């Protein structure tokens, strides 16, 4: 079941901070080789053109060559998209988004600088926000920590993130018999992960469900109607990223919905297994 209702009620509650857009490094678990970082690149900006990404050590002059083109993605990433894991050298790193097919000299939006990316660490590095001037959520690159440790026995693991640039804080949960049950303790502002007891870097373990009707509402959810509902397949032993993407009031490719990606180990280059709801 899928439904979307445009209803912008007043927002009274602000979430706790659950996003990892800081300079902390991720824990690798069963991650990449010990001397490399494991990075998944994405384009979740609803009005951005296709992008490639460039990387350099902070304090150095040259970004070198675009990373995605070097890993078989000549056309870059068009919204919404996520690359598979790409191994890069760790350190204090600067990131830049550019147009595919060119070099690293002309950025799209501001660079993301001085990010501490650890060897044997796992990360998502993605574009979010709007390129269009005057947006309340302007275009930017952002880093999120990934987890690769397996879920608890018999459990599924997922991370919920709100990357809708014009969204107020959202609540994610399940509606049963008209009652909305939060899956997290706090509403989720734009750019942030879910937060709450037992939730680390946005990740939480849940019971498997082949079609959990995940629902988002404005905060406070008990006073607002459903905005969007779609089934999500949470499988035992699998880590799933659920991104709320698009624009409120958007149509076509810019419509609000979920971008659901399996965060499982994968070879360098190509695409991650993702679906849009």
**Does position 23 have pLDDT exceeding 90, yes or no?**
no
pLDDT score, position 86: 92
**172: pLDDT strictly greater than 80:** yes
> If you average pLDDT over residues 146-150, what whole number do you get?
86
How sure is the predictor about 267, in pLDDT bands with cuts at 50, 70 and 90?
Answer: low
**Range(s) of the domain holding residue 157:** 3-276
Determine the Cα–Cα distance for residues 105 and 96; give it in Å rounded to an integer: 9
Q: 19: pLDDT confidence band, cut at 50, 70 and 90?
A: very low
92: Cβ–Cβ under 8 A, 6 or more apart, which residues? 57, 58, 59, 114, 115, 116, 117
Position 266 scores a pLDDT of 66
According to the model, what pLDDT value does residue 66 have? 96
Higher pLDDT, 141 or 4: 141
Residue 74 and residue 260 in contact, taking contact as beta carbons nearer than 8 Å: no
**Is a pLDDT exceeding 60 seen at residue 138?**
yes
Question: pLDDT confidence of 34, banded at 50, 70, 90?
Answer: confident
pLDDT at residue 56 tops 60: yes
pLDDT band, very low/low/confident/very high, at 169 (cuts 50, 70, 90): very high
pLDDT in tens, 187-217: 899 999 999 888 999 999 999 999 999 999 9
User: Total structural domains in the chain?
Assistant: 1
């Amino acid at each position: 079941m899928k439904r979307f209702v445009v209803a912008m009620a007043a927002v009274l509650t602000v979430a706790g901070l659950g996003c990892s857009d800081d300079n902390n490094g991720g824990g690798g678990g069963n991650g990449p080789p010990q001397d490399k970082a494991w990075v998944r690149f994405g384009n979740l900006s609803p009005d951005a053109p296709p992008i490639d990404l460039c990387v350099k050590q902070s304090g150095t002059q040259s970004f070198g060559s675009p990373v995605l083109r070097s890993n078989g993605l000549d056309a870059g990433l068009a919204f919404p998209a996520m690359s598979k894991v790409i191994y890069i050298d760790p350190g204090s790193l600067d990131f830049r988004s550019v147009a595919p097919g060119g070099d690293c000299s002309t950025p799209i939006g501001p660079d993301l600088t001085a990010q501490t990316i650890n060897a044997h660490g796992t990360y998502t590095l993605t574009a979010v926000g709007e390129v269009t001037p005057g947006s309340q959520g302007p275009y930017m690159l952002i880093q999120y920590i990934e987890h690769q440790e397996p879920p608890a026995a018999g459990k599924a693991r997922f991370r919920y993130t709100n990357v809708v640039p014009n969204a107020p804080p959202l609540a994610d949960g399940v509606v049963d018999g008209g009652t909305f049950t939060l899956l997290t303790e706090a509403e989720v502002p734009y750019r942030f992960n879910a937060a709450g007891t037992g939730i680390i870097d946005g990740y939480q373990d849940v019971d498997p469900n082949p079609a959990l009707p995940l629902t988002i509402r404005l905060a406070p959810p008990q006073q607002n109607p459903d905005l969007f509902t779609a089934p999500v397949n949470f499988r035992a032993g699998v880590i799933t990223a659920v991104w709320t993407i698009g624009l409120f009031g958007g149509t076509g490719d810019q419509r609000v919905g979920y971008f659901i990606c399996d965060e499982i180990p994968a070879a360098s280059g190509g695409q991650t297994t993702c679906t849009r709801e």
